[in-house]
Amino acid sequence: MNADRVQMLRRNAPRTGRARLTRRSLLACLLLLASSLYGTATAAAIEGADRAPRPAGTGARITAVRELDARTLDLTVQSRAMEGSVPVRVILPKSWTSEGRRTYPALYMLHGGDDDYTSWTRETDVEELAEDSDVVIVMPDGGKHGYYSDWYVGTPLWETFHTVELVRLMERTFRTNSSRAVVGLSMGGFGALNYASRHPRMFRYAASMSSYVDLDEPEVRDFIRLGSTVDGIDINDVWGDPEQDDNWQAHNPAARPQAFRGTRVHLSSGNGTPGPLDAAHETHVIVAGMLAERMLPASLQNFAESLREAGVAVTTDFYKPGTHSWPYWERELHRIWPTVMKVLT
């Protein structure tokens, strides 16, 4: 599909602005409270087995394009791996239409749990950041609790969709090249690390903001299991039985530090203490953000050390104060943006 085809698929739609509201629920508070009942575990560095994403060919195609503004498009992607349609938001560089033979680096941005593909543009100023960047920004949906994995039970196949179908679709439709970076927050931060470790050298840069990194930690397992159960999901459907199947280790970034060789890694989190950036939040939002963030720094620091021991180039930003909330993630996006652009281009 070329630029003319993309233009033909565009649909008239009103341009939308960003809502700056942070959406949390009382349910989130309860889930995070459960996770806070445990101490922070030490990150493990054990070797896990590998399972590649299941083959799906190039079975994805764009069936509709909705134009949000001159450079921002919402795509409806029909996916063979997902056996249905998945929404994807794309921000194109200014020169994309005028330089029809040029290829561009791609920045994949992954959202957190209980959110969707609109979150980065809804909650941050990524459009403004990308104003002068010659990079195609790809923001795919990853499911409310999709865990950026091909599920053990057979469907959904999020990893195959994101790392096989979508990458190839972006290459042939939007002229992206092999220079790629992936950035994610919370569950999306886990997704960024999971994809980078399971697809060595696919990404030049991987950044994880406020994410768990070790599936062996008891509080992480309990947090994931409880959150999934509340939403009617059996976590064993995602990775199998953690006591009997090595598939958990195959999706555990902390167990695979050597797999990150060739990829620059950035890890960040707050310490769970509220600060000035939380001033506009309601009390339950602040409490949820405190509980979610407080268990992360020690585990991330241990993971960073294991990466360095494996010869991986890693940077960290463990800031104080800081909670599990969008103002800190937007600030972190600004902090890493120059490096991401430099690595990509």
Question: 40 and 216 in contact (C-beta within 8 Å)?
Answer: no
Integer CA distances (angstroms), 58 to 8, 54, 192, in order: 22, 12, 21
**Residue 229: predicted pLDDT:** 86
**Residue 2: predicted pLDDT:** 55
Specify the residue for token string 């409806």. Answer: 76
- For residues 298-322, give the mean pLDDT: 98
CA angle 244, 151, 56 (to 5 degrees): 130
**Residue 338: predicted pLDDT:** 98
**Residue 245: predicted pLDDT:** 74
Q: Is the pLDDT of residue 238 over 60?
A: yes
| pLDDT tens digit sequence for 125-170 | 999 999 999 999 999 999 999 999 999 999 999 999 999 999 999 9
**Residue 335: predicted pLDDT:** 98
Question: 174 and 139 in contact (C-beta within 8 Å)?
Answer: no
| pLDDT tens digit sequence for 91-116 | 999 999 999 999 999 999 999 998 99
**Residue 223: predicted pLDDT:** 86
Confidence of residue 9 (pLDDT cuts 50, 70, 90): low
Confidence of residue 282 (pLDDT cuts 50, 70, 90): very high
